[in-house]
Amino acid sequence: MKKHRVGILGATGTVGQRFVQLLENHPQFEVTALAASDRSAGKPFSQACAWKLAGAMPDYVKEIVVEPIEPPLDCELIFSSLPSGVARETEEAFARAGYAVISNSSSYRMDEDVPLLIPEINSEHLGLIEIQQRKRGFGKGFIITNPNCAVVSFAPPLAALDRKFGVESVFVTTLQAISGAGYPGVSSFDITDNVLPYIAGEEPKVEIESQKILGRFNGETIEKANFIVSAQCFRVHVIDGHTASVRVKLRRTSTLEEHRRAQMSGRGQLEHLCSAPHGKNGTCAARAALALWQIATGKGF
């Protein structure tokens, strides 16, 4: 199979390094360009990047010279992991220059013509691309975003419930790992032996992003999901892997067995991802992993 040629914006950062790691020997993608700030541009990746992840820096990137974050880059696809302040203008420049931009940054997530994508549950939102291209005059380029990492942890099982029973309201408590704050992230004085009961700006993101992700594409726009989400976000002393405790009020009564079946059909789709966990290799964080630990009924609502 011919591989897609990928450029990574923000390649020297912690998310950029994760891209570099996940794309090593990938069956569909090949990294052909790396870009970062003026501090790094012009240097081989091995010199520009202070590698932070477990395991060594992959050999395949070491000699690639880091470029500035401006088009052209030698690739078709852009995976962007730039800070949100820089991302908006830069990602637009790449889309305008004809690149497909897939962004980890929050800057375009809530724009109404930009898909906020978890492909296994809302791939029909890709219909927005044509509208975006027309509206912004992008030609063949476009921007797609991925969700906040806390939302990704519970959106797939929530989508399975919504499809089967209809969701009326959601109360979610997230226990978010230190890695989600990037590097250097949370002060060690604050997080060591502690649980932090607040993450600035996180709760509104969890609430509004989940309504967009589970919304319906009507051919023109996304109609937000018709349920209330109330979130409380904690930072916990765990390096990688977020946990979410989710209480859901459904629109119809259901049995535990029906829930299990609804969730199994959702998981089937996740298992087809080529980045899903295979065998026992790799840490949870280096893979697209979602584990559903417990489903229980309750009378709390």
Q: Does residue 21 touch ligand NAP according to CB under 6 A?
A: no
149 is annotated as an active-site residue: yes
Q: Does residue 176 touch ligand NAP according to CB under 6 A?
A: no
Q: 12 vs 28, 258, 285, CA distance in Å? A: 22, 45, 18
Smallest gap from Cβ 181 to ligand NAP, in A, equals 8
Work out the end-to-end distance of the chain between its first and last CA atoms, rounded to an integer number of angstroms. Answer: 51
Q: Does residue 15 touch ligand NAP according to CB under 6 A?
A: yes
Tally Cβ neighbours within 10 Å of residue 204: 10
Among positions 53, 65, 77, 86, the unique one binding ligand NAP when judged by CB under 6 A? 86
Q: Does residue 39 touch ligand NAP according to CB under 6 A?
A: yes
* Region binding ligand NAP by CB under 6 A among candidate stretches 101-109, 189-197, 233-241, 246-254: 101-109
Q: Does residue 277 touch ligand NAP according to CB under 6 A?
A: no
* Region binding ligand NAP by CB under 6 A among candidate stretches 76-84, 224-232, 244-252, 263-271: 76-84
Smallest gap from Cβ 140 to ligand NAP, in A, equals 24
Distance (Å, whole) CA 247 – CA 170: 6
Q: Does residue 105 touch ligand NAP according to CB under 6 A?
A: yes
Q: Does residue 141 touch ligand NAP according to CB under 6 A?
A: no
Name which of 113 and 202 has its Cβ closer to ligand NAP: 202
Name which of 115 and 164 has its Cβ closer to ligand NAP: 115
Just list the catalytic residues. 149, 242
Chain positions contacting ligand NAP, by CB under 6 A: 10-16, 36-37, 39-40, 69, 81-84, 86-87, 104-106, 146, 149, 180, 182-183
